[in-house]
Amino acid sequence: MSNAYWAHLHGLIRKSCHFLGYGVFGLLWLRAWRFTFPRLPFLQHALLSVLGAGLVASADEFHQAFIPSRTGTPKDVLLDCCGVIFMQVLVYTAMRMARPDKLANAA
């Protein structure tokens, strides 16, 4: 197999790990906001989580822009935020199915 194949595979794995890693990071933000402000609806917790993770992703990409061997692009921030949103949708769906009483204020 050619070097281009391995380079493409390496890039795909890196982007997938960023997607999932920031997804988990977003869930940690979500949990923190839910414990800090328990009376807020789930949607507000989720939005605060996306904002927090997005700010960290932006700062990371800004930092990478100054490192010669790295690149910082807005597309990577978008990918990271999509990972956060994806994981939050999964959690919301699971909670909706298993514990709808926990989402009573999620309107």
The answer as to whether 97 is a domain residue is yes
How many distinct structural domains can be found in the chain?
A: 1
Per-residue pLDDT tens over the stretch 7-62: 899 989 999 999 999 999 999 999 999 999 999 999 999 999 999 999 999 999 99
> Is 78 in contact with 39 (CB distance < 8 Å)?
no
> Is 34 in contact with 103 (CB distance < 8 Å)?
no
Residue 60's pLDDT is 93
Is the model's pLDDT at 105 over the cut of 70? no
Domain that holds residue 33: 18-103
The answer as to whether 24 is a domain residue is yes
Backbone dihedral angles phi then psi of residue 38, each to the nearest 5 degrees: -65, -20
Residue the block writes with tokens 């100054």: 66
Nearest to 83, CA basis, from 26, 11, 23, 27: 23
Per-residue pLDDT tens over the stretch 51-90: 999 999 999 999 998 998 888 889 999 999 999 999 999 9
* CA gap 16, 79 in Å, rounded: 9
Reported confidence tier of residue 107, pLDDT bands at 50, 70, 90: very low
Q: What is the pTM of this model?
A: 0.86
Is the model's pLDDT at 5 over the cut of 50? yes
